[in-house]
Chain A
Amino acid sequence: MNTVIENNNLDAKILPFGESAILIEFGKGIDPMIHGKVKMFTENLDLSPLPGMIEYVSAFSSVTIFYDPVKVRKMCQESPEGKSLLTFEILAAMVREKLGKLEHDADYTPRIVEIPVCYGEEFGPDLQYVAEYNKLTVDEVIHIHSHGEYLVYMIGFAPGFPYLGGMSECIATPRRQSPRMSIPAGSVGIAGMQTGVYPIATPGGWQLIGNTPVELFRPLDNPPTLLQSGDRIRFYPISRREYEEYKGGRS
């Protein structure tokens, strides 16, 4: 026996979620450690999906797998005890087995994605406010925002919209009192302790500090989004001319 006790704590809570989904909770809270487990597990699911699996959605600290119960039952008919088990129980056992094997795996290597941002001007109508609110200059806000490294905890709310962690508290700013009816695609904003980028035009109450010429949602590509759960991103400032060149060069 190996005397070293492996304790990567891949222990997870496995819960039913209706008759067609199963929820795997790796912990509670927004924490890069917990999210690392989420990422490890989903990378494994990409390589070897569960029988009858339709797709999965990963979140801050959990993964939800959607499946077709009829297919699961069909694919698991061989097991003699399979008949009396719920498909949830069949899948839960498989998930547990997967997690057991995963404990010996190494951590994943995150992708680094750099996103150019034209800060201020008409792109960032709230940049001045964010500076004033935090008793900083506009340049300081830009410096702080573009020198952080952010973790994409999950994609949701809109296609390609990243829930980012890792923003400096020094530039945290509450949401606007009255939300805007429409925020243009590419807008970079701050809401409380969060920063994010809007892939498509939507209404919203975020403080807008800039805009990126990069398309975050590309429905005709696969994958259809620039960012994925587990990515690490950095913002870097560009001038208005660079912004327009980028936009022009693309079209």
Chain B
Amino acid sequence: MSIKVLTPGLLTSIQDLGRYGYQKYGVIVSGGMDAYSLRLANLLVGNEEGEAVIEMTLMGPSLLLEEDLLLAITGGDLSPAINGQPVPQGRPVLVRKGSVLKFGALKSGCRSYLAVRGGFDIPEVMGSKSTYLRAGIGGYQGRALLQGDILPLGLACPLPFAESLVRAMGSSSFAFPPWYVGRSYVLQKSQEYRVRVIPNSQFSLFSPDSRKQFFQEPFQVTTQSDRMGYRLSGVSLQLTEPLEMISEAVALGTIQVPPDGNPIILMADRQTVGGYPKIAQVAGVDISTLAQIKPGSKIRFEEISLGEAEELYAAREADIQRINITIQLQLAGTAT
């Protein structure tokens, strides 16, 4: 049971929901940038939501599926095709052994997620299969995927649902059911993406102009953005007076402002601590949106309260619960 990497794509790595509990030792969280899409992909094939998946960025890989597989693709649209035929996202897809799954042109978003039934049979390091690129641990040999890699797959009991898809497949190389997870969460192309933020307790340290401009002016996601952080350019944000900062913990979505005034939004591979002043914190539910915004795009920050952010968070979790139940229902039955 394995998948062979024919071409690796731009930055393709194994990620799960991240490595928690070790930040106090300086070990970063890592994990999928768009955790929402990662969870959906797993649920669609009947995995635990936090199983390891393949995360691909801007330009996807080409993969040889060496076994009959139930897989699901979510997140950004990188034009996935099996043996040259477009394959839909947001659904479980049964694929015949020997097929080639190739990702092509980026149509929307920035990152795509591929989950396979049973997950990947790779060892957990500190409780996670996520690739920690800089320390060279986790994932597949602690690095991004390369040509020729053979990814061993985990075992999972076969679903009756998948067997019914086998019957439906006939002579074609893949089959899928007539239901899917809505793509309402997938980013629609836009001139400017809205990112909701909660001002940080250090917000008041910024100059009145900077505080105003932070919400009024758009910022561009620069090409120096990566899994560690989104580096923005736009108006230069300044403190009212210079400040000696002492390093303290940072979080996913923390917007910190180095002395050059260009904000950085900290993402999955952020360090555990930072010494720059923090202007705001991206609402948890908008992190996945942000993960699908590609360099060159413009974003605009919108202020929300802590209470609103918490409600949005709870509503998103409730949504995932619902999706989980309906998918479980579908997978427990037969597709025909």
Contacts and interface: CB of A to CB of B under 8 A. Distances in A.
A220 to B, nearest CB: 7
B249 interface: yes
B246 A59 contact: yes
Interface string A227-248: 0110000000000000000000
Nearest to B280: A18
B274 to A, nearest CB: 8
B226 to A, nearest CB: 16
B193 to A, nearest CB: 19
B215 interface: no
B125 A18 contact: no
Interface string A36-63: 0000001000000000001111111111
Nearest to A229: B24
A122 to B, nearest CB: 23
Interface in A50-89: 54-64, 66, 69-70, 73, 86-88
A168 interface: no
A70 B283 CA distance: 14
Interface residues of B, number: 39
B306 A16 contact: yes
Contacts of A160: 25-26
B135 A156 contact: no
Interface stretch (A23-31, A99-107, A134-142): A23-31
Q: Which of B137, B253, B273 has the most CB of A within 10 A?
A: B273
A159 B273 CA distance: 11
A225 interface: yes
B24 A20 contact: no
Contact of A225 (B25, B28, B314): B25
Contacts of A54: 20-21
Contacts of B22: 55, 159, 224
Interface string B300-336: 0000001101100110010000000000000000000
B272 A57 contact: yes
A155 interface: yes
Interface in A142-185: 154-161, 163
A217 interface: yes
Interface in A193-243: 199-200, 202, 217, 219-220, 222-225, 228-229
B251 A17 contact: yes
A18 B251 contact: yes
B24 A161 contact: no
Nearest to B317: A70
Contacts of A23: 201, 248-249
B25 A223 contact: yes
A18 B253 contact: yes
B43 to A, nearest CB: 17
Contacts of A154: 247, 273
A199 B134 CA distance: 12
A55 B201 contact: no
B248 A60 contact: yes
Contacts of A59: 246-249, 273
Given A29-B246, A62-B248, A219-B125, A228 B25 contact: yes
Nearest to B123: A220
A219 B137 contact: yes
15 contacts: A16-B306, A17-B200, A18-B281, A23-B248, A29-B246, A55-B23, A59-B246, A155-B25, A157-B271, A159-B25, A159-B27, A160-B25, A160-B26, A202-B134, A224-B22
Q: Rank and list the top 4 A-B pairs by shortest CB-CB distance, nearest first.
A: A64-B249, A156-B273, A18-B281, A57-B249
Interface of B: 20-28, 125-126, 134-137, 198, 200-201, 246-249, 251, 253-254, 271-273, 281-284, 306-307, 309-310, 313-314, 317
